[in-house]
Amino acid sequence: MGKKGKDRKVDPLLAEKIDRILHDIEAAQSQNATPEELLLMVSSYLEKEPFLTIPLIEALARVSNAETAQLLTGMLAGAEEKWIIKSIKRTLYKLRQRGVRWEEKPSKGEPVLGPPKLAEPEGYLGTIDSTGSRIIVIAKPQPLRGLLVVISIVNDLEGIQQFNLKEFSKKGFKEFVKGSLSSVDFPIVNTPGAYCVHLLKEASSLHQRLSKPLPRGYHDAEKEFRDITWDDPDPIIYQYIREDEVKDRPHFLKDSVNLHKIMPFSTWHLGGQEVEQYASSITEAQQSKIVLRPDQKEARLNSIYRDALEELFPDDMRLLWKRRLEEMAHILLKTGKEEEARLAVSAAIDLQNPFSSIDPNPFIWNLLLKSLYILIEGDYEDKEKEEKTSLIVTP
């Protein structure tokens, strides 16, 4: 067969397919594709048309560079059939004869000629603001096309608020993340892509429970990420900080109040409409014409605070703030604030249970007081402006 093979005619259609694949390989090499990406690309071609295997291996001798040799070495590591192994070794020998040199690193894992492996996506999570909104970015490698990137803003009460599906080069994506998404006060941190997909799916489920149509492009992204799963039901922070590390250390819970001194917690507060009636009750108690002893006045205010705590934080809202603290603990840890991350986890764990009437959760208690007095002080300033305006005599 060897002698007759020299005289065989080349099928023009086969030659055209091989030339097209070689062109794609060279294009990928010019874009600095990694050996793994090249293997994935070749695997996808050969899975669809296995009869191209030997002709392609032989044709790779025409692409004389170290990247091609590494590609063949990777294919060799996964090959099982003797005839394929011989063909790869023959092409590698030709490349060496032509002066190509490469570092041989045997590839581990599944054979390149089998089904292609799914590329692991990159993930980024942003800081949560006081309304429960945050940014989620997921970037999936696409052979010869750079990265397919999901950029979304999700809210834990509303679902998906914004959604975009774009393509980036690797360099362009890095510049985008660094220059457009992250800031000192509101950082964005690298997070396993599968976890980011999990959070996006959570937001999608909420969106649908609210009977809202999913944004344009979401179903396309869903198809891209359909095989990517996150099996751990707990927030990701518990992979780094175990519950038992902070649960029985009361000083962590006590000090969680200090989180309000740093970003973004210093900007967290409840909405004005939520606390308005309690703020009004506090103002009335403070300005009451009825003469009250200091202890009576304090008791009246404490009664208002605790009514507000009970009514504004039913079980579902208490668990919502628990999840916000857990997600923020991950951001804190990834930005080097390990101690603050432990405080956030401690406060979150305490929110598993209903509030203590004697000593409520310090973080939430401070959040409530802060929210009330932001509104009270704002109303006071507005009244002062009104009084000054009324004193102005117009000609």
Query: Which among 142, 125, 66 is positioned nearest to 99, based on CA atoms?
Result: 66
Length of the chain, in residues: 395
- Residue range 198-212: average pLDDT? 94
- Residue range 140-163: average pLDDT? 89
Contact assessment for residue 68 and residue 60, using Cβ atoms and an 8 Å cutoff:
yes
Q: Residue 361 above 90 pLDDT? A: yes
Q: pLDDT tier at 145 (50, 70, 90 boundaries)?
A: low
pTM for this predicted structure: 0.68
Q: Residue 124 above 90 pLDDT? A: yes
Contact assessment for residue 347 and residue 260, using Cβ atoms and an 8 Å cutoff:
no
pLDDT tens-digit readout, 285-319: 777 666 667 777 778 888 888 999 999 999 999 99
pLDDT tens-digit readout, 47-77: 777 778 888 999 999 988 988 888 888 888 8
Integer CA distances (angstroms), 236 to 31, 278, 388, in order? 34, 36, 53
Helix, strand or coil, per DSSP, at residue 232: coil
Query: In angstroms, rounded to a whole number, what is the distance separating the alpha carbons of residues 395 and 232?
Result: 72
Q: Residue 7 above 50 pLDDT? A: no
pLDDT tens-digit readout, 242-292: 898 888 788 999 999 999 999 999 999 998 888 899 888 888 877 766 666
